[in-house]
Amino acid sequence: MAEQESDLRAQMRSKLEVLKSKGLDPYQKYRFIRTHDSEGVKLEFGDIGAEKSSVEISAAGRAMAVRVHGKAGFADLVDREGKIQLYFKLNDIGQDAWDIFTSLDRGDIIGVKGKVFRTKMGEVTIAVSTLEVLSKALIPFPEKFHGLQDVQTRYRQRYLDLAINDDVRKRFINRSKMIAYFREWLNKRDFLEIETPILQPLYGGALAKPFVTHHNYLDMDLYLRIAPELYHKRCIVGNLEKVYEIGKNFRNEDIDAQHYPEYTSIELYQAYADYEDIMDLTESLICDTAMHITGTDKIPYGDKVLDFSKPWLRITMHDAVKEHTGVDISSFGSVEEARDAAMKIGVRDIADCQDMGKIVAEIFDQKAQPHLMNPTFVIDHPVEVSPLAKRKRGNPDLVERFELFINGWEFANAFSELNDPEEQEQRFREQDRRRKEGDEEAHPIDSDYIRALEYGLPPTGGLGIGVDRLAMILTNAPSIKEVILFPHMKPETM
């Protein structure tokens, strides 16, 4: 197999040398003016018949599926939008261009000019009059009927994956459209897009293990941000009132089908709003985005159809646990009782847990969350696992927080933001105590953030949405790596 590929590479390089010898070095072409992409041809000439168009157009892309039949032949021209069929005829293009056509390899990048017609098979086609090779493929492309299927190769050589697999290319186009729509939606509602530090002197805004780096000039350790939250709320203190940011966060954690250490989020904050307002915003934003990308609120995912139609279910964490386990969290009188109840229903890794809130959260995570298929807001979380959220009106053991779950996964996290500087400092100190006891995900004390609160943070609602997971659902991707262009991989063994 390796010997066969080596022979093919030699043949492809030989073809390159032939082009160069004729003064047609493809790497010396600097530009090509095209009038249409593949989709544009089909749209403009959708009603064309067998008679050629009166106007000549130009198009460019990769030559795929080259078929030669005597003194005529066909090829597919593939670009970002799809493909358009090309028709070549020796008598129309001349011997020199014909020789170039018949020597094309799969993946060669070409530019063509010609008139449009519809074949007897009903396919809109460009009858080529002029052909240029704009770049020569020197490695064989995968065969037509097998394609590029090996997952490791697809992720390592995403450029080839995009070029070969139309569905992969479409997935990333839709991801881009999704993010563009987020911006359009929020900008129309007077949110300001901001940029906050990725390198931070103190990580914060979530419970997670950070990546650490070092700034040589300042001679200080910095952290890749785990969330932009505390900087956003500083902006609210500074009267910006409605802000959002779409960008990367970094958490030094495991990789699996739904988790990745470098991921994209959209985070937003709105002054004079609470978590009920943000719930309404989240529902509308995601519903509208789903309709924009898929054209429906019934979203196929794997072997399921997820119902995004409004209104979405809103349920407390306590009620969700009771519904799916039969356990009444409100009846727990002590940590020991809560822990024993959790262990009886098979909750893992809590034998040494001394924290009521964390036990409750683990019961939910392991026993209730996997059942939440259609979009569901789970509200009112334990205060112990929500150090940045405001206490629940009427129940100080809980906070005004919601998480959005779809397909059993978390998609969004939001609070009525804690704006009492004294209580925030107390919460930070409790987190710091846990961190010193070995909790690598506990939140450190951020004294400057407390100082910002002392200047006055208005009542505020905040939200974070995982962009990658939403892209998975809206493009029917089975793994988060399918919606990340260049996922990290272990080094190749040569």
Distance CA 421, CA 401 (A): 18
Distance CA 191, CA 302 (A): 35
Nearest CA among 89, 51, 46 for reference residue 68: 89
CATH of 2-141, one of 3.30.30.60, 2.40.50.140, 1.20.200.10, 3.30.43.10: 2.40.50.140
Alpha helices in 327-404 (DSSP H): 335-344, 356-363
Q: Which residue type sits at 67?
A: R
What integer pLDDT is reported at residue 352 of this predicted model? 86
Structure-block tokens of residue 207: 């419970």
Q: Write out pLDDT tens, residues 281-299.
A: 999 999 999 999 999 999 9
| Arithmetic mean of pLDDT, 207-232 | 96
What integer pLDDT is reported at residue 304 of this predicted model? 97
Q: Write out pLDDT tens, residues 222-271.
A: 999 999 999 999 999 999 999 999 999 999 999 999 999 999 999 999 99
Structure-block tokens of residue 130: 């002029």
Q: Do β-strands 376-382 and 313-316 pair in parallel, antiparallel, or remain unpaired?
A: parallel
Structure-block tokens of residue 430: 């409790």
| Shared fold status for 2-141 and 164-312+374-483 | no
* Residue 118, SS3 per DSSP: strand
CATH architecture of 164-312+374-483: 2-Layer Sandwich (3.30)
pLDDT band, residue 215 (cuts 50/70/90)? very high
Does residue 3 register a pLDDT over 80? no
Q: Write out pLDDT tens, residues 402-414.
A: 999 999 999 999 9
As a whole number, the mean pLDDT across the chain is 95
Distance CA 327, CA 360 (A): 10
Structure-block tokens of residue 360: 């409750």
At residue 234's C-alpha, the angle toward residues 229 and 237, to 5°, is 130
Query: Torsion-angle region of residue 152: left (phi > 0), alpha (psi -120 to 50) or beta?
Result: alpha
| Arithmetic mean of pLDDT, 345-355 | 91
What integer pLDDT is reported at residue 163 of this predicted model? 95
Peptide bond into 261 cis (omega under 30): no
Domain extents in the chain: 2-141, 164-312+374-483
Distance CA 429, CA 444 (A): 8
Report the predicted TM-score, pTM, of the whole model to 2 decimal places: 0.93
Q: Write out pLDDT tens, residues 99-131.
A: 999 999 999 999 999 999 999 999 999 999 999
Q: Write out pLDDT tens, residues 153-204.
A: 999 999 999 999 999 999 999 999 999 999 999 999 999 999 999 999 999 8
Cα–Cα separations (whole angstroms), residue 358 to 316, 334, 379, 410: 16, 13, 16, 17
Q: What is the largest distance, in Å, between two alpha-carbon atoms of the chain? A: 91
Region of poorest pLDDT, from 141-155, 207-221, 246-260, 346-360: 141-155
Q: Write out pLDDT tens, residues 312-337.
A: 999 999 999 999 999 999 999 999 99
